[in-house]
Every structure is written in C-alpha cells, then in structure tokens.
Structure 1
Amino acid sequence: MLRQRIISLVVLIVAIGFISYAVVTNQSPKVGAEKGMLAPDFTLPLWETGEQASLSSYRGEIVVLNLWASWCPPCRKEMPDLIRLHEDYKNQGVVVLGVNLATHERDENGVEEFMNEFKVNFPTFIDQPIDQVNRRGVVASSYNIQSIPYTYIIDSNGRIAHVIRGEVTYGMLETLIKEL
C-alpha cells in the first residue's frame, strides 16, 4: 500500500514537472530574426518627427517591416508597392513600417531625397549605430542583415510570420498578410 502511494506520488511529481516545463517553454518564445521567433524590439527616431518610437508599440497589429537603403535598386523598385499596401490596409489592422539602414547609406542626402521622391507616407525608422566603435546599426545588427532589401511580416503577437530576402511586390505581401 505504501509502495503504491510512493509510486503514485512520483508519477504525479513527474507529470507536474513536465506540464510546468511545457508551459514555461511555450510562454517564453525565443527572440530572433527567423520565422516563428519574437521579433527583436528596437527604439529609434522616426524620419517624420525625429521622435523616438519602438517596434513594440505596434503590437496588436500585423506589421510589414521593410528594411532599405536609398541607393538600392530593388528597394527603390518595391517602394511604390509598399506605399500602396499601406494605403489599402492601414485601416484593417495592418501597418507598414520602414527602416532606413542609415549606416549603409552612401551619402547624407540619400534618405531625404528618397523619402521626398517616393512620397513615403508610412512611419519610417532611421537605424542608428550601436556605438562609436561598432558603426553597424541597431536593426542591421539585431536582425543580422547581410543584404537588402529585407521584409519581415510580424503577426499581431510580435512573432515573425514571414521573412523575405530581396524585393517584394504588392501581390506577394497581400497574399501573406491575408494568411494571418
């Protein structure tokens, strides 16, 4: 009788431990720049105002996060589609956000000329160097950007649903956000 109670107690303790482990690991998603991970948060100045804003302030919406530089031909080609997507979906729980990879720019006027030329009308962050020694940008570093453009589709819970390396189109993005 005592032996059965001990065995039952051990089984119960193991079951509680297993359930606890499952709960903890499911509630603590990994932060990273790959599909299924929690998108790395950042706080940077916005082009429009210069005020600091954070990616996490858009939690609750589907985010199309596009990383670009003014001199990049595919970045230039995809921008009209991103602007159109912003216009068509801004009142439907989808926000398009840009990140100019300022540390990748070739001249100091490139960003302003690009923003004016394309009449970019969605919030655009300006990536900043991590520090004076490491001139790599905060976003470029935390998202491990090796080439541009990059586009991340982030679900309303802050998880990366899609990672697109290279040029995007309106149709491609529309299909992917409708899945969410």
Structure 2
Amino acid sequence: MQAPSFALEEVQSGEVISLTDFKGKPVMITFWASWCPDCMKDLPMKEQFYQHADADTLAFLTINVTGRERSEEAGKDFTIKNNLPFLVLQDSGRETYDKFGCTGVPTTVLLNQDHQIVHLFDDKSSFLDIAKALPDIMTSK
C-alpha cells in the first residue's frame, strides 16, 4: 500500500517537510505523544538508533500527534526541552495519524524506497521487532 502523502511543520525550524522530500529513500516514521509512557520508552531508543543510523540510506522522522496531546504546545515543549536530535513534525490534529491507520501511540511505520508501507508496528511492538524488520526496506530492487 502506498503511504499517504503529507506536508507538516517541523517543530524546531518551522520548515514544512513533506514525504516527497525523501523520494527514493526508505523512511522510518514514528507517531508519538508526550504523555504516553510507551512513547517515553520508545523515543530514547529511537534517539540512540538515529545517532548511529546512516542518514544517506534511511530517512528518519517522528510525528507528534497534536490531536492526541493534552495541549497544543505539549509536543513542541517536550521536543525542545529534551533537545530531540531528529526531525519532529507536528500533525494537523490527527490527520496524518488517521491517514496511516494508526490506532495508538507509539506507532512506527517503515516505508520502502518507493514509499510503500512495508510494516506498521503498534504500541505493543518492541524496538527489537522494528530493528529486525529494517532489512526489508533497506534492500534496493
């Protein structure tokens, strides 16, 4: 299934980032909310992964689901306070989250280089499950 397109504002720079900016590159997207205990376990692992990943071969971004936050600024405040090193986009409410068929946070979606959804991991999935699936999107045709 083809991933839905999106163009969302990046929390720290204010720049609008779209999925098409990563054309031809596999993508890992994580949807999260600042109040979510599972997200607070997941994000530090994603941060460690991000710091060792090759940005030339895998695009890595997160989307704060503002429609699931307690306040409009909660995700932005969390991002800045914790100095998250990766791209953090702000969803328009739950628009992108819903388009991807997410049912909870965190949800991680792995897209191949053609931006087809290869794997969708829900809040019950471990980071190890996600890491084991990465080769599925990293292989070129």
TM-score by length of 1: 0.69
Over 3 Å counting, the alpha-carbon distance change for 1:117 and 1:77 in structure 2 is farther
Q: Report the secondary structure of 1:65's partner residue.
A: strand
User: 1:94-153: per-residue Cα shift (whole Å, max 9, x none)?
Assistant: 121100001111024421332134321111110114xxxxxxx22123123332111100
For 2:59 and 2:126, the matched residues in 1 are separated by 16
Letter in 2 for 1:76: M
CA RMSD of aligned residues (A): 1.8
Among all aligned residue pairs of Structure 1 and Structure 2, give the percentage whose two residues are the same amino acid. 23
CA contact (8 A) 1:84 1:170 kept: no
For 2:25 and 2:13, the matched residues in 1 are separated by 22
For 1:51 and 1:167, the matched residues in 2 are separated by 32
Match of residue 121 from structure 1: 85
Task: Give how far 1:172 is off.
Answer: 2.9
The 5 Å alignment of 1:5-154 reads 37-129=1-93, 137-154=94-111
Task: Give how far 1:49 is off.
Answer: 1.2
Gaps (5+ residues) in structure 1?
A: 1-36, 130-136
For 1:165 and 1:146, the matched residues in 2 are separated by 7
Greater percentage in strand:
2
Task: Give how far 1:63 is off.
Answer: 0.8
CA contact (8 A) 1:89 1:95 kept: no
Over 3 Å counting, the alpha-carbon distance change for 1:45 and 1:84 in structure 2 is same
State the number of aligned residues. 137
Q: Report the secondary structure of 1:145's partner residue.
A: coil
For 2:59 and 2:50, the matched residues in 1 are separated by 6
- The answer to whether 1:157 aligns with 2:121 is no
TM-score by length of 2: 0.86
Letter in 1 for 2:136: E
